[in-house]
Amino acid sequence: MRLALGIEYDGTDFCGWQRLSHERSVQAEVEAALTFVAAHPVEVTCAGRTDAGVHARCQVVHFDSDATRSERAWVLGANSRLARDVAVLWARPVADGFHARFGARARRYRYTILNRPVRAALAARFVTWERVPLDVEAMQRAAQALVGEHDFSAFRTVACQANSPMRNVHAIAVARRGDEVAIEIEANAFLHHMVRNIVGSLLPIGRGERAEAWLAELLHGRDRSVAGPTAPASGLAFLAPRYPAEWNLPPEVTL
């Protein structure tokens, strides 16, 4: 039987999603918990790997198991073995053709900036601090240049292993709520550090250091070396992938 899980985690103390032999990873801890519940070795495949320090509201994974367990047993059993910074949200049986990575039609990220004169204490693990007041409207207008299918080489890390720099951004929105500025991006897929590099180039526009047209110039120039710096990982959260309704997954991951 193939199962899909929704998982949330605070990525601060992890080396990232991917299992590594010498550091703490989300994948390794999830697999260890599921192995305990299933009583056999379990390997999971995720919708999108996150980097060190990046969080997830609803990462989706799939795995195969012959163990007879209820959805509730998978959730509660795994959570009983997981540390406090990782939790299984739900479990669903799916058809054998379901694939957490290749079946996703879109992925959504949110980057959160605390925009006030004083740094964060309570929210420090989940935001990036920017003391200079940001012009959110200018950032929103500039960001619309990224919507559509483009070559995103200007926002791609040199370590990116993707075969192509082409990605299709479905929507991007920059909005303020009180002291927080949120940048939400949905695309068919993302390049390595793509969201953090976009944020790093939007911030100079928000601070008034660059014109709104600069983001479009960077996109068309396709030169990473002249774009803004990579924004810190702490502000980034993978909200969820999105799948066709035929898989009968929860609403937050369904198109």
Residue-wise pLDDT tens digits, 128-178: 999 999 999 999 999 999 999 999 999 999 889 899 999 999 999 999 999
| Predicted local confidence at residue 11, as pLDDT | 98
What fold characterizes domain 106-238? Answer: Alpha-Beta Plaits (3.30.70)
Q: Which of 51, 85, 135, 151 is catalytic?
A: 51
Residue 225 makes CB contacts below 8 A (sequence gap 6+) with none
Return the percentage of the chain with pLDDT > 90, whole number: 98
Instruction: Give the Cα separation of 18 and 124 in Å (integer).
Output: 24
pLDDT at 79: 98
Whether 51 sits among the annotated catalytic residues: the reply is yes
Percentage of residues in the chain with pLDDT exceeding 70? 100
Contact call for residues 7 and 56 (beta carbons, < 8 A): yes
pLDDT band at 94 (very low <50, low <70, confident <90, very high): very high
At residue 21 the predicted structure's pLDDT band, cuts being 50, 70 and 90, is confident
Rounded-to-integer distance, Cα 100 and Cα 59, Å? 9
- How many of the other CB atoms lie within 10 Å of CB of 207? 16
Fold match flag (2-103 vs 106-238): yes
pLDDT value at residue 106? 98
State the average pLDDT over residues 211-240.
Answer: 97
Could you tell me which of 38, 240, 87, 110 has the C-alpha nearest to residue 249?
240
Give, to the nearest 10 degrees, the angle between helix 71-81 and helix 26-38.
Answer: 120
Spans of all domains in the chain: 2-103, 106-238
In the predicted structure, residue 223 carries a pLDDT above the cut 90 = yes
Q: Where are the beta strands (DSSP E) in the chain?
A: 2-9, 45-46, 55-64, 86-94, 106-114, 128-129, 148-151, 166-177, 180-187, 236-242
| Confidence at residue 54, expressed as pLDDT on a 0 to 100 scale | 98
* Cα 54 to Cα 197: distance, rounded to the nearest angstrom: 14
Q: Does the pLDDT at position 234 exceed 90?
A: yes
- On whether the CB atoms of residues 140 and 206 are closer than 8 A, the answer is no
Q: What is the pLDDT of residues 31-80, one digit of tens each?
A: 999 999 999 999 999 999 999 999 999 999 999 999 999 999 999 999 99
Residue 243 pLDDT grade (very low, low, confident, very high; cuts 50, 70, 90): very high
pTM as predicted: 0.96
Residue carrying the six token digits 């929103």: 140
CATH architecture assigned to 2-103: 2-Layer Sandwich (3.30)
**Token pair belonging to 134:** 């940001």
CB 90 within 8 A of CB 61: no
Q: Indicate whether 16 pLDDT > 90.
A: yes
